[in-house]
Structure 1
Amino acid sequence: MIYSALEFLTQELNAFIKLKVGDTVGDTNGDRIFLSSVTNENGIIIPDKSLGLSLINIEEERTLKEQKSTFINSVGKVEKRNPDIQLNLYVLITANFQNKKQNDSSDDYVEGLKQLGYAISFFQAKNVFTKENSPRLAGIDPGLSKLVVELYSYSFEQLYNFWTVVGAKYLPSVLYKVKTIRVQENAIQESGDPIEKIHLDTLHKS
Structure 2
Amino acid sequence: MLPMIDQALQLVRDRLNDHLRVRFAVAEDLVSLSPLTDAEGKPAQEARNRLALFLINIARDAVPRARRGQGAAVVTQHQPLHMDVYFMIASGHDADLYPEGLKLVSAALMFFQSQPVFTPQTTPDMPQGLTQLTVEVSNMQLEEIGQIWSNLGSRYVPSVMFKMRSVMIDASVVTGVVPTITAPSQRAQPEEV
Q: Which has the higher contact order (CA 8 A, sep 6+)?
A: 2
Q: Distance in 2 between matches of 1:197 and 1:156?
A: 65
Query: 2:153 matched to 1:157?
Result: no
Where does structure 1 lack aligned partners over 5 or more consecutive residues? 100-106, 200-206
Taking only the aligned residue pairs, the percentage that are identical comes to 27
Equivalent residue, structure 2, for 1:6: 9
Q: Deviations over 1:6-60 (max 9, x none)?
A: 101000000111122221xxx4xx2110111233332232521100111110111
Q: Which amino acid aligns with 1:48?
A: R
Report the aligned-residue RMSD: 2.3
Whether the aligned pair in 2 keeps the contact of 1:72 and 1:79 (CA below 8 Å) is no
The secondary structure found in structure 1 opposite 2:125 is helix
CA distance in 2, matches of 1:175, 1:130: 21
Secondary structure class of the residue paired with 2:156: coil
- Give the TM-score taking structure 1 as reference length: 0.79
Aligned position for 1:110? 99
Q: Matches of 2:117 and 2:7 in 1, distance apart? A: 16
Partners in 1 of 2:131 and 2:67 — Cα distance? 21
Are positions 1:169 and 2:155 aligned together? yes
Give a deviation string over 1:41-84, Cα, whole Å, max 9, x none. Answer: 3223252110011111011112227598xx566xx343210112
Once residues 118 and 197 of structure 1 are traced to their aligned partners in structure 2, the CA distance between those partners, rounded to angstroms, is: 63
> Whole-Å Cα distance in 1 between the matches of residues 130 and 67 of structure 2?
21
> How far did residue 142 of structure 1 move?
0.9
TM normalised by structure 2 equals 0.84
Alignment correspondent of 1:78: 74
CA contact (8 A) 1:65 1:85 kept: no
Q: How many residue pairs are counted as aligned between the two chains?
A: 181
Other-structure match for 1:57: 57
**Where do 5+ consecutive residues of structure 2 fail to align?**
186-193
The offset of 1:163, in angstroms, is: 0.7
Q: Match for 1:119 among 102, 105, 108?
A: 108
